[in-house]
Amino acid sequence: MAFALNRYTGNNSTTTFSVPFSYRSTDDVIVKVDGVTKTITTHYTFPSSNQVQFGTAPAQDAIIEIRRATSQSTRLVDYAAGSVFKESDLDNDSIQAFNMAQESIDIASDALAKDSTDQFDATSRRIKNVTNPTAAQDAATKSYVDSNGATVSVGSVTTNTLSAGSSATVAITNSGTTQAATLNFTLGIPVGNTGAQGSAGTDGETSLADATALAIALG
């Protein structure tokens, strides 16, 4: 559960989105659309303390992120020796620390984490801004794969006849390289079994000419 972070998906018509978390000042609320930080008044306003309203509806499927980001570099209260402790100062001091703690939890929960098998899980999201690999086990970017991926072409295809009843075989060899493979196929194709012999046909009749020739030959 996020404490000070909400994401919505644009539909090209909705302009108002909920801000369900508390904040000290609107300056502490960061609004982004598709990763681009928007400017209050120019791009959006706060019609109420728990709503952000865009002047133009975010596009279809745009990702709207509303996040609280309390100052981590400047203290809101600086106590001085001998000063009077006021409730407002104590509240501001503790609110800053409390908000920062919640925001830190959100950042940690929103980061790429390991699952129960000790493997990093991107939860079906893209991982972007990755540099090109240099070692054998580095993850590769799409750009690197597209420009350095292997090519495969078919070389020769040879067929051999195998005896009836044999199993078909296939052998593949690469006469090229790993990056430019040329695959040669050798196929073993078994012949079919000899078919059944058909029945004998009827005896033919001897023609008059054949009979005369046979009679002369036999004298």
Residue pLDDT, tens place only, 179-217? 889 999 999 999 887 777 878 777 766 666 666 766 676
User: Cα 107–108–112 angle (5° rounding)?
Assistant: 105
Length of the chain: 219
Burial label for 19, CB within 10 Å (0-12, 13-18, 19+), is buried
Q: Is residue 161 part of a domain?
A: yes
Asked if 77 contacts 93 with a C-beta cutoff of 8 angstroms, the reply is: yes
Task: Identify the residue with better confidence: 179 or 169.
Answer: 169
Of the candidates 142, 102, 103, which has an alpha carbon nearest to the alpha carbon of residue 126?
A: 142
107 lies in the same domain as 155: no
Asked if 49 contacts 42 with a C-beta cutoff of 8 angstroms, the reply is: no
Strands 120-121 and 63-68: unpaired
Least confident of 40-44, 108-112, 176-180, 200-204: 200-204
Q: What domain count does the chain have?
A: 2
Quick one: tokens of 144? Answer: 């690197």
Task: Identify the residue with better confidence: 141 or 4.
Answer: 4
- Return mean pLDDT, the chain: 89
Q: Is residue 48 part of a domain?
A: yes
What pLDDT shows up at residue 171? Answer: 95
Q: Is residue 206 part of a domain?
A: no
9 lies in the same domain as 107: yes
Least confident of 26-30, 120-124, 127-131, 204-208: 204-208
At position 165, the amino acid (one-letter code) is: G
Residue 74 banded pLDDT, cuts 50, 70, 90: confident
